[in-house]
Structure 1
Amino acid sequence: MSAPTQSRPGFDVDRYTRAVEASDADALVSQYSDDAEMEMIDRRTPPSAPTVLHGRDEIGEAVRDLCSREMTHEVLQSVADDKHVAYTERCTYPDGNEVLSMTMLDLRDGRIVHQSTVQAWDEEARAMESARFAPVPEREQADHENLEAATVGGQTVVRLELEPGWRWSEHAKPFQGTDSCMMTHCGYIVSGTLCCRMDDGTEKEFHTGEVAFVPAGHDAWVVGDETATVIDWRAANPG
């Protein structure tokens, strides 16, 4: 760590920094208030449509997922006062790919009540790598869908199998916690038909054999009686 950290009454910045660098999810989650919010901004979710997580439980799921990944975390610089902490962080994957982020924490009564993070990713891997699709644990109990993911070169590819009757606003909305899907999708329709409706009312169907691009801010549903299978290389990548 190249810059000093400071401890302030009620919030221990040194403890927080150690937890970040040790990927200690429990220690990190314990420092959020029950009603905390987390905003994440990157190329996939720009300032006009950031990823927003509400409450310590929802934030905890994201923190535990991040801490479970095979990467190192290094806090580069940090400054703090009684109400705020700001720091930069570098995360490095085994293949050498890096993620650089800048984070601002707002504090209340010694706990984090709001977090804003802006992050940027390396674009290319530096070594060959392979992976197999595996179920996404938090979605294994979801109805009418099978969601699997594989990560190679620091990038995640998602395979979705969406059964007839599936609709984002009914079956996936509870997992995102937003009024519409705030992920950007770019994927190949292996089978079936999907219809997407943007928040402005624009609708488009995507059919077998097509490559689909859908910006953030939409609903989606399966059309007809055939399962829709999609390989999506954009949805899970914040860079």
Structure 2
Amino acid sequence: MTLQEELVRAIEHRDVEAVLATFDEEADYELVDRTSPPSEPLRAHGRDAIGRTLHDLFDRAVRNEVEQFVVQGDHAAYLQRCTYPDGSQALITAMLDLRSGRIVHQSGIRARDGGTSAPVRTRTRTFAEADEVRTFEKGRLELLRGNGSDVARAVFEPGWRWSRHVKPIAGTELCTYAHFCYILSGTLHVRMAEGSEFEATKDETIRIAPHHDAWVVGDEPVTLLDWETSGDYARSQG
């Protein structure tokens, strides 16, 4: 089976592990969408980190179709159409760099419409009816799932720090997830892998790229809404 056949089959069957198997161990992955602009794309390095990203992207009741796939030497490109339960669609254009029959770099652009092809049922919900609740020392995450659009509310108590309280669960040196958050209360300090640091406080939005540590500043809990956290963040693997 060629790489093209292997990848198309995996995408259309929503087989994340099979998609991941087409990547090199040290591959790089980039995606631009409505929350990750070209200046700050969603990035993942290495098969493990890419796997976490793919599990998040494929964790939907979505029908995937690869409509075009072109291979030329060590480069390839394909167009993927995603159809959501509400009838809305997204198009993903992916560009691949190949080596020894594996993907060493993938960059993609995802654009989604507003779902005009089928009526969408309006519904209000609260976090009291969260689809999933994850608790950990000095923290709690409540997740509401939608048709391709999830939102999480996280509460971090004074003294909480990712590297102290979530790192043992994640099993990574730094947080490998991207976040797009609105701070409801408290102050959050973030330190990136390359050493840069910044803070966000009440009524501010914050975009955090993968590979960071974070902690609560002061005696007030941090409560935030996050439109990107899902996947296995703070989920016990036991």
1:107 aligns with 2:109: no
What's the counterpart of residue 4 of structure 1? none
After the TM superposition, which residues 31-50 of structure 1 pair with which residues of structure 2 at under 5 Å, given as runs? 31-50=22-41
1:140-192, Cα deviation, whole Å (9 max, x unpaired): 586532223212243211110112112457666878987998533235x1xx5
Superposed CA RMSD in Å reads 3.4
Q: Which residue identity is paired with 2:56?
A: D
The Cα shift of 1:62 comes to 2.3
1:193 aligns with 2:190: no
Instruction: Tell me which of 130, 133, 143 is aligned to 1:133.
Output: 130
1:20 aligns with 2:11: yes
Give unmatched runs, 5+ long, in structure 1.
Answer: 1-6
2: CA distance, partners of 1:212 / 1:128: 28
1:67-123, Cα deviation, whole Å (9 max, x unpaired): 332111011212112312201111111111222111011111011111111111234
Cα pair 2:181 2:225 within 8 Å, conserved: no
1: CA distance, partners of 2:130 / 2:173: 25
The Cα shift of 1:124 comes to 6.0
1:28-59, Cα deviation, whole Å (9 max, x unpaired): 11111111111111231122221111111221
Cα pair 1:77 1:87 within 8 Å, conserved: yes
Instruction: Tell me which of 180, 187, 211 is aligned to 1:184.
Output: 180
SS at match of 1:128: coil
Instruction: Tell me which of 152, 177, 197 is aligned to 2:146.
Output: 152
1: CA distance, partners of 2:53 / 2:99: 21
Q: Which residue identity is paired with 2:181?
A: H
Q: Which residue identity is paired with 1:156?
A: D
Q: How many residues align structurally?
A: 217
Percent identity, aligned pairs only, is 36
SS at match of 1:184: strand
Instruction: Tell me which of 62, 67, 78 is aligned to 1:76.
Output: 67
The Cα shift of 1:26 comes to 2.2
- Between stretches 117-126 and 153-162, larger displacement belongs to 117-126
What's the counterpart of residue 51 of structure 2? 60
1: CA distance, partners of 2:174 / 2:114: 28
2: CA distance, partners of 1:144 / 1:123: 38
1: CA distance, partners of 2:57 / 2:110: 13
1: CA distance, partners of 2:205 / 2:99: 41
2: CA distance, partners of 1:179 / 1:65: 15
